[in-house]
Every structure is written in structure tokens, then in C-alpha cells.
Copies of this chain bind each other. A is one copy, B any other.
Amino acid sequence: MATLSDVATRAGVSVSAVSRVLSEKPGVRVSVATRQRIHDAAKELNYRPNFTARALKSSRTHAVGLVVPGVTNAIFAELMRGVEEEAKSKDYMVLIASTERLPEGEESIPRLMGEGRVDGVLVQFGDHLSGDDLRTVTDSGLPVISINTINPGRGGSVRLEDEAGMRLATEHLIELGHTRIGYAGGVPTSESGQRRLAGFLGAMADATLTVEPELVTEFGYYPKQGAQALDAMAELSTPPTAVVVANINAAHGVLSEARRLGIRVPEDMSIVAMHDTWTAEIAWPPLTCVRLPLYELGRAAMASLWDNINSGTAEDRVIADPAPELIVRESTAPPAR
């Protein structure tokens, strides 16, 4: 790899001249002739500035960390796509740090953050990491944006309209005529989970429908936990005729468990889920979903982080555009009689 000084030698000038010319700072005084020679030499040697040296000098790595609960789900994929795209436009790279099966005394996150590897971090904690973990991260002093979890004290979060989304989902079932509606939510410690539950309860209250406690489950956002939620509801003397699932991944679990139990969807039970990923269409029946802008969430998160890195400001943003939208497919229908 050619270095600055290689270019300097070839062009017959000093290193600093080369540096100044190639970095194109306004107001540098270099004659047109040498400028040309430097550009030529750089091109001939295929010069590329060494990233590590730059990072050391400027304490900017042009990289951000993305901490996610896991990489094998479609929600992550959508989010990731947004982050990746925005990062590219800002000339940043994305470093993935997956926290699945986080071992005791995990060191990788503090290391990621403490060693000056990244300029900032995006965290999407799933079910299994708590507010305490979030605090550890935010206390590191690095710019941090938390995705879809509000960050108590230290600002910097990007969220979706979870509550409005769940209202939409619930109202859809109510309009279809369902009155006994179950809820399969995230774990109670999840802040987004609380907002989603509030949306569900709000919509039910507005329709003056009662919600029996046994119909509200909070097992988590993953397929297994969706299955678990359905099991719990199926055991009831009178199961619900419809279920609002707070996460599409859990909804896939609900669907396969329903198949296992011989519950027909939507004939015996309607299902509506939060988030509209491509997997909703390949499921059977295709899932009625509330689409929330995950891609835009990713973009916004990266954009906010960039702002935070460059100006130190950290606001809490809610991504409301595009607004939550109900996508009706084939997993919902009026209650059987």
C-alpha cells in the first residue's frame, strides 16, 4: 500500500503538501503545478489514505456499532438495511455486535465501545436485555442512540408509534366483530412492550370491551414465546376468537402452534401482528399486519447517531412517517358466529 510519503517522494514534494492537497481543505496555498504533480503521483501509485492512521490522528473511526439481539429475524434485516443505507450515505461503516446467547460477564460490548473502535453505537435491545444493560452502554461516554426504547436520563432514542400501531391492529379486530380478544405481548420489562400493551388496552377500553387478565400474556417477541402464548390461551375454558400479537416473529410461532393444535386461522381464530416484514406474505395464511416503518427507523437511527457524533445533541425522535398502516391479508376474518 502506497503511503503519503511514497506519493510525496514521487511528486518531489513534502508529505504535508500532499496531505493538504489530497484532503482538499479550502484555503490551502499550493501552486497549480505541484497540485497537478501530486494528483498524478497519487493516481499512479493508487494511493488510499490509511484508515487507522487517520483514525488515530483525528479520533474518528467512521464506524458505528450496531448492537442487536440477533441477526436471524426479518425485523433485524429491515432495520439493518436502513442503518446500512444511511451509513453508506454518511460515509460510515457498520460493525455488527450480536448479543444472542450473551455469556456471563460478556466483554464484547464494553470492548467495542471502550477501545475507540467506533464513533458511536446503535442499540436495539430485545427482550433479554434490561434497562440496566442499556445504562452500562450509555454511561460509556460514547454517543448512543437506542432503538425503540426510550433512554431514561441520557437522551438519544428513536422510536416508532407502537401505541398507535397496536390500536390500529386491535380496532381492526373490533370492527370485524370480535369482542373476546387475546393479547400476546413482549416481556413486561420491555419498554416498547409496555407501549404496545397500552395501545391494545386503550383500543379495547375505547370500544368498552373488557379485557380479562388471563387473555393478556407477556411472554416475549420470539416464535417460541408466541407459541407459548397461544398454548396458554387455548387452555382457557373459552379461548379468544382473535389474538393481537405484538411482534410478527411471535406471530409466526402462534401460527405454527395453531396448526399443531388444529386451530384454523382465521376461521377459528383471527391473528393480527405488529410489523410487516416479507415473511408475513409467505406465511400461511398470509398475516394481517400493522406496518411500521422499520427501514426508516434504521435510517433515522443512523442519522440521529451521526448528529449526535458531530454535534453532541441527542434528542428523542418518534418516526411517524409513514404512519402505521394496517395491511389486511388472510389471517383475520369475522368471528365464527
Contacts and interface: CB of A to CB of B under 8 A. Distances in A.
Interface residues of A, number: 51
A207 interface: no
Contacts of A116: 1, 50-52
B115 A51 contact: yes
Contacts of A93: 95-97, 112, 117
Nearest to A72: B77
Contacts of A63: 95, 117
B96 A84 contact: yes
A84 B56 contact: no
Interface stretch (A123-131, A196-204, A229-237, A281-289): A281-289
Contacts of A111: 48
B71 A84 contact: yes
A80 interface: yes
A97 B92 CA distance: 11
Contacts of A51: 115-117
Given A48-B114, A283-B284, 16 more contacts: A1-B114, A1-B116, A49-B115, A50-B56, A51-B117, A52-B52, A52-B56, A52-B59, A63-B117, A72-B278, A81-B98, A84-B98, A93-B96, A93-B112, A256-B282, A282-B282
